[in-house]
Amino acid sequence: MTNDLQPAPLSTWRGAVLHEWVDYNGHLRDAFYLLIFSLASDALMEHIGLDEAGRQATGHSLFTLECHLNFLHEVKLDAKVEVRTQVLGHDSKRLQIYHSLHLADTPGVLAASEQMLVNVEVAGPVSAPFATGVLARLQALAARHQALAMPRFVGRTMTLPA
Amino acid sequence: MTNDLQPAPLSTWRGAVLHEWVDYNGHLRDAFYLLIFSLASDALMEHIGLDEAGRQATGHSLFTLECHLNFLHEVKLDAKVEVRTQVLGHDSKRLQIYHSLHLADTPGVLAASEQMLVNVEVAGPVSAPFATGVLARLQALAARHQALAMPRFVGRTMTLPA
């Protein structure tokens, strides 16, 4: 059995932390963690057939409804990072995912984001069921990811200690 | 009694949606909602004495630990928007806040974000109690905001319908 058959999160983005993403301390600013995750979501869209050609053919796109972010470690200018993405669930028009940010080829988690996305008919805009081909790709990916452990930063609420 | 004595969220940021913040559809991209909220957090820091001079005097800054975002409406290029910020709670070194995004001078909510921030001694970096003057300003603000209603998008978890 080759390693390709082992279920694993999808590697969705690799790149370096840019100068325009860091604050006065040279650390990645909170919003730019989300920009990196947003670029990873673009790659996930491509993976399920919602690249530019797919968006034009279907008239659909994915919009983010809700997003939770946990910032675990500082990330410095020029750091080489990667995002790994796991499908947590979906229904006929919504998709729940988990992104984790890592130094490239390194296990430790720098930040995590649980997100709920919705398929949208852009002309409305109005939510709409996934197109048939997109749903098939999504189901295949979700089936592979079902074997993965539930990640740590899922389903969290925020509370101060009493 | 003047209107200044009525408790209200703090108006923390006003500006227009810039070209570099929108996607191919001319809509504000998810990460740039958070950048606007992040700029509003900067204004909150100034309000409690953690502007650049305060950061230098104390050696402290605020880091975001966790952030929840709800995207409720599309926001278009050039839209004039504002952020209103409410203190939900704090302890000796952490601060829980709520930002809401609106068209300027308009009640409807475009997006909301609950956030947990931590006071950090930057030289460590290590979490540290708020400096005395900062804590006093924060307590005054929190006391005023205690009279406000709990906002809608607080304490949420994400779930697909069964």
- Extract the runs of DSSP E, i.e. beta strands, from B17-145: 60-71, 80-90, 94-103, 111-121, 126-127
- How far away is chain A from the Cα of B102, in angstroms, using its nearest Cα? 17
Measure the CA dihedral A15/A74/A110/A75, to 10°. 10
Q: What is the pLDDT of residues B65-106, one digit of tens each?
A: 999 999 999 999 999 999 999 999 999 999 999 999 999 999
Task: Using CB atoms, pick whichever of B31, B157, B159 lies closest to residue A32.
Answer: B31
Task: Show which residues on chain B lie within 8 Å of chain A, measured between beta carbons.
Answer: 25, 29-32, 34-35, 37-38, 61, 63-71, 74, 89-91, 94, 96, 114-116, 122, 125, 155-161
**How many Cβ atoms sit within 10 Å of the Cβ of residue B160?**
12
pLDDT, tens only, B8-58: 999 999 999 999 999 888 999 999 999 999 999 999 999 999 999 999 999
Using CB atoms, pick whichever of B37, B89, B160 lies closest to residue A89. Answer: B160
Contact B90, B98 (CB under 8 A): no
- Give the nearest chain A residue to B72 (CA atoms): A65
* Entry pTM: 0.94
Asked whether B66 and B115 are in contact (CB, 8 A), the reply is yes
Residue in the structure block whose two tokens are 């840019």 = A18
In angstroms, the Cα distances linking A37 to A42, A92, A110, B55 are 9, 23, 12, 29
Q: What is the pLDDT of residues A128-158, one digit of tens each?
A: 999 999 999 999 999 999 999 999 999 988 8
Question: Cα-Cα-Cα-Cα dihedral of B27, B31, B36, B42, to 10°?
Answer: -170
Instruction: Mark yes or no for CB contact A158/B116 under 8 Å.
Output: yes
A44-49 mean pLDDT:
97
Interchain pair B69, A68: CB under 8 A: yes
Q: Residue A96: which of B32, B155, B158 has the nearest Cβ? A: B158
- For residue B96, the chain A residues in CB contact (below 8 A) are 158, 160
pLDDT of residue B107: 92
Q: Is A53 helix (H, G, I), strand (E, B) or coil?
A: helix
How far apart (Å, rounded) are the C-alpha atoms in residues A55 and B153? Answer: 31
Q: How far is residue A125 from each of residues A110, A121, B67, measured CA to CA in Å?
A: 35, 5, 27
Contacts for A45 with CB less than 8 Å, ≥ 6 apart: A51, A54, A55, A61, A62
pLDDT in tens, A95-113: 999 999 999 999 999 999 9
